[in-house]
Homo-oligomer: A and B are copies of this chain.
Amino acid sequence: MFEKFYSERIKNTPSSFIREILKVTQSPDIISFAGGLPNPISFPQEELKISMNRIADKYGSKIYQYSTTLGLDSLRQYIVDRYKKLWGMNITIDNVIITTGSQQALDLIGKVFVNEGDNVMVEKPSYLGLLQSFCLFKANFVTTKLNEDGLDIEDLKNTLKLHKPKVAYLIPNFQNPTGLTYTKENREKVFECIKDEDMILIQDDPYGELRFEDNERIPYIGMNQSDKNIYLGSFSKIVTPGMRLGYIIAHKEIIKELETAKQASDLHSNIFGQYLISDYLYNNDLDKHIEKIKALYKSQAKAMTGAMEEYFPKTVKFTYPKGGMFTWVTLEEGKDVLTLFDKAINKKVAFVPGHPFYVNPDKVNTLRLNYTNADSETIKEGIMRLSEALKEI
Contact = CB atoms under 8 A, between A and B. Distances in A.
Contacts of A45: 56, 60-61, 64
A16 B263 contact: yes
A13 B261 CA distance: 8
A13 B35 CA distance: 37
Given A52-B52, A56-B49, A66-B37, A113 B5 contact: yes
A379 to B, nearest CB: 19
Interface string A56-68: 1000110111110
A254 B10 CA distance: 11
Interface centre among A1, A60, A242 (most CB of B within 10 A): A242
Contacts of A19: 69, 263
A279 B280 CA distance: 23
Nearest to A65: B242
A8 B117 CA distance: 12
Contacts of A260: 10, 13, 15-16, 132
Contacts of A10: 111-112, 257, 260-261
B101 A267 contact: yes
- The size bracket of the interface on A is 35 or more
Report how many copies the assembly holds: 2
A48 B61 CA distance: 11
Interface in A42-101: 43, 45, 48-49, 52-53, 56, 60-61, 63-67, 69, 100-101
B2 A251 contact: yes
Contact of A6 (B61, B69, B112, B129): B112
Interface stretch (A150-158, A269-277, A341-349, A358-366): A269-277
A107 B110 CA distance: 13
A4 interface: yes
Contacts of A276: 272
Interface in A187-227: 198, 200, 227
Given A7-B111, A13-B264, A104-B265, 18 more contacts: A2-B228, A2-B257, A5-B166, A5-B198, A9-B111, A15-B260, A19-B69, A49-B53, A100-B266, A103-B265, A103-B266, A104-B266, A132-B263, A133-B265, A242-B271, A243-B272, A265-B265, A272-B273
